[in-house]
Amino acid sequence: MLTIIANASVLDHQGNLEKKHILLQDGVIKSLVDAQVKLSDIQDGASDIIDAEGKLITPGFIDMHVHLREPGFEHKETIESGSRSAAKGGFTTIACMPNTRPVTDHPDVIKLILEKANQAGIVKVLPYAAITKNELGRELTDFAALKEAGAIGFTDDGVGVQNAQMMKDAMKIAAGLQMPVIAHCEDDSLVVGACVAEGEFAKKHGLKGIPNESEAIHVGRDILLAEATGVHYHVCHVSTEQSVRLIRQAKSIGIHVTAEVCPHHLVLSEEDIPGLDANWKMNPPLRSKRDVEACIEGLLDGTLDIIVTDHAPHSAEEKAKGMELAPFGIVGFETAFPLLYTKFVETGLWDLSFLVQRMTADPAKVFGLNSGLLEAGRPADLTMIDLDAEKSVDPEQFLSKGHNTPFAGWNLKGWPVKTWVDGKLVWSE
């Protein structure tokens, strides 16, 4: 079956916009044809022709850090609802974290997630497996069996692995299997009872703060362990100046380390938190402006490789418990691109191609995925974006079960309007 997306604006290899007809067949991109070619010359056999005049077509976004909550927390999100939310946000591939119940520490849980994702049939769901059983940091999981079941990497995201020997052993095994270790970096001894960053907001409201060094200590430790073991070490949701500095130095001497950053750590600091609203509570927390600037600089110079959402839905009742008692996390699928486009591209700080690359080709490269590029032979995972569309963020319109966002009411431009996965239209506004 041949589908033609006609008159689409696409980014060329130099980041310039050019107009193309995109031909999709059997789940892959068949070809890109100059839009000056008449449709009548290429449409023979086409079952569907979609006019993309005035719209940008990019490779589907790839989010390598999400929480789908199933199994165990279906009141927050399910694999299906999370997948629909991802598709609405323009994502075609998402990688889900293992802090479910049961924890994704057994091949049967990996198989369950893949089966649920297949039943939903919306976006591609790639499961991570836990490093330690129940994410308790006491006993390693069976890495080989988890890889065989379909895990794409190992992480105890949600908590840090506290024991250095445990982490080193994990890295050795993962390196032998040619699999990455993805680390939530947090020293528990420094964060007991803390709910926001250590800074002026914490002082003002009498809250215990999470210090920068709680993250950076683990980043530094794990970089040394990665050097010793040769594993691909990937740092989750970098949020501090110190972490950026350590990762930059590690890369400069050839250690195989990659890293990610979240939109909220690029556009918000602790100074933006309006009060004790737990929709502004996430982990890592919103930090100082200096940390925000360091993360932006790190993303621009390649120290931080990719953008992820850390999509973390919670119920309204859970978030209503207040800043100290509510769980950490905010949703991110449905605001990520328009947020970054509005704040960085519309203002002239970033090129459009840079933003797209950090959300498509770069995550594919870091994790060895056969997607993220708009070229013949690649999977027909595509996102159509209306760069002129402007509207305010309305959490009631989210397809995610979670409405926990600090961006409610923000006026943003550049909204995804259609998403294809393997040539199948999975979201259309």
Amino acid at position 216, single letter: A
| Domain count of the fold of the chain | 2
Confidence class for position 148, pLDDT limits 50, 70, 90: very high
Confidence class for position 14, pLDDT limits 50, 70, 90: confident
How is residue 300 written in tokens? 């621009």
Percent of the chain at pLDDT above 90?
Answer: 97
Known binding residue 90? Answer is: no
Q: Kindly report the average pLDDT of the chain as a whole number.
A: 97
Phi-psi region of 72 (alpha: psi -120 to 50; beta: other; left: phi over 0): left
Contact present, 88 and 63 (Cβ < 8 Å)? no
Q: Looking at the domain assignment, is residue 230 inside a domain?
A: yes
Known binding residue 388? Answer is: no
What is the span of the domain harbouring residue 357?
A: 60-367
Contact present, 156 and 170 (Cβ < 8 Å)? no
Known binding residue 314? Answer is: yes
Tens digits of residue pLDDT in 388-416: 999 999 999 999 999 999 999 999 999 99
| Shared-domain flag, residues 200 and 250 | yes
Which three-class secondary structure state does DSSP give residue 133? helix
| Shared-domain flag, residues 128 and 243 | yes
Q: Which helix (H) or strand (E) holds 267?
A: helix 264-267
What is the pLDDT, as a whole number, of residue 154?
98
Q: Looking at the domain assignment, is residue 214 inside a domain?
A: yes
**Residues labelled as active-site residues:** 310
Tens digits of residue pLDDT in 314-323: 999 999 999 9
Q: Looking at the domain assignment, is residue 422 inside a domain?
A: no
| Shared-domain flag, residues 37 and 90 | no
Confidence class for position 182, pLDDT limits 50, 70, 90: very high
Confidence class for position 366, pLDDT limits 50, 70, 90: very high
| Shared-domain flag, residues 72 and 11 | no
What is the pLDDT, as a whole number, of residue 45?
86
Residues 6+ apart with CB under 8 A from 213: 187, 190, 242
Q: Looking at the domain assignment, is residue 393 inside a domain?
A: no
- Whether residue 11 is predicted with pLDDT greater than 90 in this model: the reply is yes
Q: Looking at the domain assignment, is residue 415 inside a domain?
A: no
Known binding residue 322? Answer is: no
| Shared-domain flag, residues 218 and 80 | yes
| Shared-domain flag, residues 188 and 243 | yes
| Shared-domain flag, residues 220 and 117 | yes
19-32: average pLDDT: 97
Q: Looking at the domain assignment, is residue 103 inside a domain?
A: yes
Known binding residue 290? Answer is: no
